[in-house]
Amino acid sequence: MSDEQDRPAAGRVGVAAGGGDSRPVERMSDAQDRPAARGPGAAAGGGDTRCGLVAVVGAPNAGKSTLVNALAGAKVTIVSPKPQTTRFRIRAVVMQAGAQIILVDTPGIFAPRRRLDRAMVAAAWGGAQDADRTLLIVDARAGLTEAVRAIAGRLAQSPKPLFLALNKVDLVEPPRLLPLAAELNALLPVAETFMISAEKGRGLDRLLDRLAADMPPGPYLFPEDELSDLPNRMLVAEIVREQILRQTHEEVPHHATVETENWQERKDGSVRVDCTVYVARPTQKAILIGDGGARIKAIGQSARRELEALLERRVHLFLNVKDRPGWDEEHGRLRALGLEELD
């Protein structure tokens, strides 16, 4: 079902949404596809510059994406209170003290069941393997769970430098923090431990300074004003999916995926974007559409407002909902998400 006939005229907004930050999100182009990151041979900088990839890993809902957005100073990855929001790796570029820090936001690591789950977990471990440094985020409220123990056990086998950040410390009694940090430091070789609140912005300057100082010498891999490597087509799909996560409940959010089917530039500088939302069952389709199309209309309106803020242009967004049983086991759907095919 499409919400196009009920869609009101779009308004104009000019700043990045989320996180209270007013910086525009700078992207290389407003076109449907952005160029890939430049290789070292074409990179800016050189000489005394430092650049490295930092994989941000942890269990679901540890606050990884919130932290990446906070460190980047703008919204570059979607967030929601629901676990497993992030499904693929997203790179955010942060400039600090002459260093370019490329933060790799990864899916939460959990026990997978579906092909989609396995591909998400593989993307997370792949991000850690490809990075120069690893930043393990642990929800201080949840503490040392079995999931965290399993992640720590695998990271302990890696020779790469590892940093630990206990997140959400503003929600935990201070006497609990040092014992938790000591337990984690006993499980794996931690270069340094940080007490942070990504939501409140506490402890982030010290973390960012430490990461910048630890970046290896080398040329910048992205232009200095770049914020993310996410193509605009995928950005649109992710923002729509974020609204699905926020406005639906139970099984619907985790059984929905969004694909951008069409991107059409208009002469007036606006863009028309058509997206298809796939769900696993007809009942989920009915829930997502809502009575008289009310829910999908609300999802489209909220997504459009945020996209206009992020892209700084008028957006005409059209959504169509289809039930496609087993989409989360299909190779094609996983490729559309930028995930590796796993058997």
| pLDDT for the residue numbered 303 | 97
Report helix, strand or coil for 137: strand
Report helix, strand or coil for 174: helix
Q: What class does CATH assign to 40-214? A: alpha beta
Could you read off the pLDDT of 169-219 as tens digits, one per residue?
Answer: 999 999 999 999 999 999 999 999 999 999 999 999 999 999 999 999 999
| pLDDT for the residue numbered 217 | 96
Residue 122 token pair: 């593989």
| pLDDT for the residue numbered 339 | 67
Cβ pair 36, 338 in contact under 8 A: no
Give me the residue spans of the domains in the chain. Answer: 4-15+230-336, 40-214
- What mean pLDDT value characterizes the chain? 84
| pLDDT for the residue numbered 27 | 42
Look up residue 216 and give its DSSP letter: P
Determine whether domain 4-15+230-336 maps to CATH 3.30.70.1280: no
| pLDDT for the residue numbered 342 | 47
Q: What is the mean pLDDT of residues 64-83?
A: 90
What's the rounded Cα separation, in Å, for the pair 291 and 294?
A: 6
pLDDT at 146 exceeding the cut of 90: yes
What's the rounded Cα separation, in Å, for the pair 37 and 17?
A: 24
Could you read off the pLDDT of 267-296 as tens digits, one per residue?
Answer: 999 999 999 999 999 999 999 999 999 999
| pLDDT for the residue numbered 31 | 39
Banded model confidence at residue 249, pLDDT cuts 50, 70, 90: confident
| pLDDT for the residue numbered 17 | 28
What's the rounded Cα separation, in Å, for the pair 55 and 129?
A: 8
Q: What share of the chain is helix, strand, coil (3-state, %, to 5)?
A: 35, 20, 40
